[in-house]
Amino acid sequence: MDKHAGLLTIGQLARRTGLSARTLRFWSDEGALAPASRTVGGYRLYDAACVARVELVRTLRELGLGLDDVRRVLEGRATVAEVAATHVAALDAQIRSLKVSRAVLSTVSKRRSTAEETALMNRLARLSATERLQIIDDFKADVYGGLDIEPQLRDRVRDLRIDLPDDPSPDQVDAWIELAGRLQDPDFRDRMRTFLELNIPVPGQNNPPGARIWWARQVVNSVARTRADGVSPDAPAAADLVATLFTNADLTVVLASLEAGIQADAEQYRELVSRVRGERGAPDATEELRWLATAIRHVTAQTAGPAPTPQR
């Protein structure tokens, strides 16, 4: 009786499993598919157990496991569950990396960035959590460090956290790239410091007259409704709105606070922080604030009256 009866050649095994003989030969050479026997001429032969083994190897390979892990499972040195858990963690890391890559490339395409800008954005996107935290802390120390503010507010600033989650969306990465670039810009820091000096109350004193523009959203909402009605900033209705919003406040001080925030891009900063956190913040109100600044300038110009005529 033929002792090789019922065994399959590598070609027959290929036809049975739908895999190429080349793939099966490679798996066999790598120790993941040992033949059941060999012919006198040295040709590999496979039995029914090898067919089942091929299906297991194929499944694990389709799931992305390397042959080293496959061999560990086949040799009983690890369970499928143990290898799967390790591979899940590796896949999660790879997915996060791919998301970052996609976000950077999307931003590069949208901004038509140069090679140097692309390299910078890629570096900012791939910073570790510790490195990102250091950027935030450096910004807070530089901008808030010299301000005379209430201890309670200083504690809130110290505890403020702006960071990407473990699994950020492309939009969060895109927002972080832009925010990190701004936070490290000395000019942006100077403008933010000036803005905050004019809009954060000094201990023991009342809020600056322009501060409610930034901390009370109803100011922006009132301006938005007025703009929606088609009112121009030099119209009497705009002057009435200014009088309603600021009553007896010194409008020159209000205007200084307002313009400082516009120059600091405070609304864009707020929006970027919300996007990095994955929050749905209020829409950018920069255009409403510019309208309001124009309206205040018009009111103050009218209040000042015409310049005196020089005396001969």
Please compute the mean of the pLDDT values over residues 166-182 and round it to a whole number.
84
| 132-160 pLDDT per residue, tens | 888 988 998 898 887 777 777 777 777 77
Beta strands across the sheet bearing 37-38: 8-9, 44-46, 37-38
Average pLDDT, the chain: 85
Residue 297 has pLDDT above 90, yes or no: yes
| 95-123 pLDDT per residue, tens | 777 777 777 777 778 778 778 777 877 77
Residue 310 has pLDDT above 80, yes or no: no
What one-character-per-residue DSSP string does 248-279 give?
TS-HHHHHHHHHHHHHTTHHHHHHHHHHHHT-
| 240-294 pLDDT per residue, tens | 999 999 988 899 999 999 999 999 999 999 999 999 988 887 888 999 999 999 9
Q: Which CATH architecture describes the domain 8-78?
A: Orthogonal Bundle (1.10)
User: What are the structural domain ranges in the chain?
Assistant: 8-78, 127-304
Residue 252 φ/ψ, nearest 5 degrees = -65, -35
Give percent of the chain above pLDDT 70: 95
Give percent of the chain above pLDDT 90: 34
Q: Which of 136, 285, 149, 298 is nearest to 214 (CA)?
A: 285
